Structure 1
Amino acid sequence: MRRTRPDFRFAHARGALPVLGHAVRAWRAPLSFLNSLSEQGDLVHVRLGRKSVYLACHPELADQVLRDPHRFDTGGPGKDELRELFGDGILTCPNAAHKRVRRLVQPSLQQARIARFITTMVATADAMTDAWRSGVPLDVTREMTDMAAMTGVHAMFAAEFTEHFRDEVHTCLRAINKAVYYEVLTTALGVQWLFRHRTLQFHRTLARYKQVVDEVISLYRHSGKDHADILSVLLAAQDETDEPMSDHEVRENVINMFTAATAAGPASTMVWALHLLDLHPDIARRVQHEIDSVLGDDPPDESTVRRLELTRQVVLETLRLYPHAWLITRCVAKPVELAGQILPPGTSVVVSPYQLHRQPHLFPDPERFDPDRWAHGTPGPHGAYIPFSNGSRQCPGKHFALTEVVVVLARVLQNRTLHGEAVSSSPAAPRVDIMLEAPPLVMTPQLRTSRTAFAPYRWSPNFAAFRGPVRPSGLPRFP
């Protein structure tokens, strides 16, 4: 049995209530609760009602959990419920199937292929910003969420005959992403019967979503063409025995990838980056100077994106403060020793990137937004920075997401500035969902006086169809 260092500290989390344990604190203020645990130990036992969960607060322990798929399988609080909803795709399948699935899916997200999607990213950003009116406030969270969803849909389904399906998929995804956290939570707690109407509506939407994806897969099979998109790569992929994926496997991976790409993750990173730059005008000026120097009047492309070093550092620092996955769950598959504790099979172990990224002995002055800490490589000890998880189950869309955020930031700031309401000098509070989300943030775009507006680049997607109705004032109406 693999053993860890003997000097790791184990602790039972303080403040447990009878019967409920730490469930109330974890429910009311999950982020502050997580941050309080690292001071108590390197491995901390938490009780959520009758369930026991172990939080790995030390980067070496977190690294062991995430890099040892033989002893730590995917699973734990929420993951089993997600698998039930979205099937055995790249993000939800057990470790026994993951190697084959990753081999089949990974080619669709290789760096060279992602570079081809930069044109789509630029065009979608242009379609979004062309509708903005200088001086008119807008909810930048809503804008970026719709833009990221549109980019994901076009990257997955590029064929012309899928235009109608793209609109319907986006509609389904918006409803699913909005409700999945509560569906998973109520199912895990066994109280979904209390919200029967909402649960039925969610499952009707999910069923229609799966039906639409099946219809698109069938059309692609019959066309027999490579449409230079992710779905075409998935349909052509073969494993080590030259076996392709079945339509059912393709559907489950499309749904997994769609849900990850169009959820709040990349969009929230864009919003947080704009928000943090607004709060730090000195850094914002440096970023815009870099964008002007590297891009000039041209749209971003593969070569210029690589040269936007400070912009990329802003994105990495934003992900340190607000990682997509604020909680990563694993389930012990074989007896394992962790920080002196023997954990039996079935034990839930949790790693929190949010909690790791904000430990002062790992990242000095952790609450400070400081892109320069990335100037000489990844800061902090090995395994401390994990916004996309780690090990064999690291997010396969990592490079797509990083590229998308850098491209969109550069394209937006190339011609505009955005400023929020000067209410507080502190960052807004995040919303806790399946992912860590940016709250609705109202910002006002202004054309940069030294530049003129850019025309849409190459193709112009119908962004208005995704945005929905708009109030007379220019502010979007929220559902």
Structure 2
Amino acid sequence: MVSSTVKGTAVIPASPPIPKAAGYLPLLGHAVPLMRDNLGFIASLRSYGPLVEIQLQPGQSTIVVNDPALIHTLLVDVAATLDKGRFFEKMGQLLGDSVVTAAGAVHVRKRRQLQPAFRRPEVARYVDLMRDQATATMTAWQPGQTLDVRETMVKMSLDMLSATVFSGSIKEQAFYELRQNLSVVMNGVGARIMMPDWIEKLPLPANWRFTAARDAVRATIHTAVDELRTADQDTGDMLSLLLQATDEETGRPLTADQICSEILTLAVAGTETTASVLSWALYELARHPDIDARIQAELATVLGDRPVTFNDLGQLPYLRAVITETLRLHHTGWLVTRRTLQPTRLGAWELPAGTELAYCQHALHRDPAHFPDPLVFNPDRWLHEDQQPLSEGAFLPFGAGKHKCIGDRFAQAEITTALATLTQAWRLELAPGQRIRPVARATVRPSSLQMTAHPRAHAPLHASSATSD
């Protein structure tokens, strides 16, 4: 390592060189390998070392961070010196100025405004609503029916969103259109991360569809906000809580645009992400009958033949381990970005202001240096008492630091409630002739997932009748 001396100060090591990934093309950067196989390309960057340079935008480098300790530094130690970066700028085309896209003091302020919606008593109340929606979903299933599980989980997640955020006030047709438009926008966001900015300015049909779908999504949410505000009723849902919130800077109620942005953040996290995790969990249970049997034994011991309630969620350690392992092997995040606002030290590297940074949870959680047999689905890895503690930054199911997911408890409760309810009543079997592979757009989801539904003999009959204490 080369050192440099500044007169009157200690010797400061110069930054080591950062290797550049192969596959760069003029005008396109690394768009070609990213569009061809973004997950494979990002995973391959591990071989370059702790940091590697790629170009998402021609002429502008992005430094991908592979080392868990440096990722922890990025998210925790130097977080105050960073902006959110490219991914969140693209998400901002849908979400606007929300808690997810904001940084610094603005993020802190928005986080405080949303925090009441995710307190323990609120989450406890939501569990009953979540369970009822999961029950309604599977009530329509027929023995031997083949389900498009990904679409089924998205529909169920949207129904849960409707119940917890809107008190079911959005009409069915509007929600169907919301689902279709969200899919277009999320696929478009994923593509725009990988492509140079100039492509999205071209008069292409894909760009027209993206703009139309984004505007339709925001219009649907705006309508729901306006109708509830006009009704002037506290329905006890998240939307009502936001309508009661005030802007800390102005002391005034949040504007319709502000509320729309935060609700859209909940919609994206509560449908695309949740549906993907549930789909992957059901996929793994179908592939591992022994794991499914252990879940059934645990549910029988804790619940008997009654439905799950909030108080049960902490009494299901094996189901929790299955969910944790799903979040490891099939994490939905494939590119999280940051940008330095000032010269920033990251390990041995001094990075100038304006440096684009990124890390990949999906690749990080499959690193054999931290997870033995990383491609094996093994919930027991989370239950061994003698397991070596993971390095900080090696496992980030909900991020870390001041930008850690605000809805982590909500998401855990939703996924646990849904899986307990569905698997207690039904066994899903993989339909033959499929090649299931991960597809990464804005989130990582199964390419397709056809499964056949088989009722369990001991299924509870009145899952919607139970309530939490």
TM-score computed with the length of structure 1 as normaliser: 0.86
Q: CA deviation at 1:183?
A: 5.0
SS of the residue 1:437 aligns to:
strand
Q: Is the 8 A contact 2:345 2:351 kept in 1?
A: yes
Mapped partners of 2:64, 2:280: distance in 1: 26
Matched with 1:454 is 461
Equivalent of 1:180 in 186, 208, 211: 186
Question: Is the CA contact 1:176–1:202 (under 8 Å) kept in the aligned structure 2?
Answer: no
- 1:340-395 per-position Cα deviation (integer Å, ceiling 9, x unaligned): 33222221100111121111121111111111111149952122111222111111
Cα distance between partner residues in 2 of 1:127 and 1:222? 30
Q: Distance in 2 between matches of 1:266 and 1:379?
A: 27
Aligned match for 2:99, one of 82, 86, 90: 90
The answer to whether the 8 Å contact 1:70/1:333 transfers is no
Instruction: Pick the aligned partner of 1:399 from 400, 409, 412.
Output: 409
> Aligned residue for 2:117?
108
Q: Distance in 2 between matches of 1:214 and 1:452?
A: 40
**184 and 14 in structure 1: CA distance in 2 versus 1, 3 angstrom threshold:** closer
Q: 1:146, 1:455 → 2: CA distance?
A: 22
Q: Does residue 124 of structure 1 match 2:144?
A: no
Q: Which amino acid aligns with 2:177?
A: T
Paired position in structure 1 for 2:428: 418
State the secondary structure of the residue aligned to 1:318: helix
Aligned-partner Cα distance in 2 for 1:279–1:154? 32
Deviations 1:271-295 (A, max 9, x none): 1111111111111111111011111
Do the aligned partners of 1:70 and 1:334 also contact (CA within 8 Å) in 2?
A: no
Structure 1 counterpart of 2:395, from 385, 402, 408: 385
Shift, 1:233, TM fit = 1.1
User: Identity over aligned residues, as a percent?
Assistant: 29
Q: 1:74 to 1:378 in 2, by over 3 A?
A: farther
What amino acid is the match of 1:283?
Answer: I
CA pair 286-398 structure 1, distance change in 2 beyond 3 A: same
**Contact residue 326 and residue 436 of structure 1 kept, 8 A:** yes
1:317 maps to amino acid = E
TM-superposed deviation, 1:18: 4.9
Say if 2:255 is the partner of 1:249: no
- Alignment length (residue pairs): 447
Root-mean-square deviation (Å): 2.6
* Alignment partner, residue 444 of structure 1: 452
Shift of 1:7: 12
Could you list the per-position Cα deviations for residues 184-225 of structure 1 after superposition, in whole angstroms to 9, with x for gaps in the alignment?
634753223556334333323332332332332233233333
Distance 1:188 1:11, change over 3 A: closer
Q: Which has the higher contact order (CA 8 A, sep 6+)?
A: 1
Query: Does residue 244 of structure 2 align to residue 206 of structure 1?
Result: no
CA contact (8 A) 1:83 1:93 kept: no
Distance of aligned partners of 1:332 and 1:207 in 2 relative to their CA distance in 1, 3 Å threshold: same
Q: Equivalent residue for 2:286?
A: 278
SS in 2 for 1:218: helix
Q: Which consecutive unaligned segments of at least 5 residues does structure 2 have?
A: 1-11
What CA distance in whole angstroms lies between the structure 2 residues aligned with 1:169 and 1:218? Answer: 16
Matched, 1:311 2:319: yes
Q: Using the alignment, how far apart are the partners of 2:66 and 2:85 within structure 1?
A: 19
Output the TM-score relative to the length of structure 2.
Answer: 0.88
User: Aligned pair 1:229/2:237, yes or no?
Assistant: yes
Please point out which of 136, 153, 158 is paired with 2:167: 158
Match of 1:335 among 325, 329, 343: 343
Equivalent position amino acid for 1:454 in 2: L
Q: Judging changes above 3 Å, is the alpha-carbon distance between structure 1 residues 227 and 289 closer, same or farther for their aligned structure 2 residues?
A: same
CA distance in 1, matches of 2:320, 2:118: 19
Whole-angstrom CA distance in 1 between matches of 2:450 and 2:13: 50
Q: Does the 8 Å CA contact 2:147/2:451 hold for their aligned counterparts? A: yes
CA distance 1:94–1:268, change in 2 (3 Å): same
- 1:356 corresponds, among 354, 364, 367, to 364
Cα distance between partner residues in 2 of 1:22 and 1:90: 30
Matched with 1:192 is: 200
The match for 2:70 is 61
Per-residue CA deviation, residues 313-351 of structure 1 (Å, 9 max, x unaligned), is 100100001112221111111111224332222211001
Structure 1 distance, partners of 2:163, 2:173, is 10
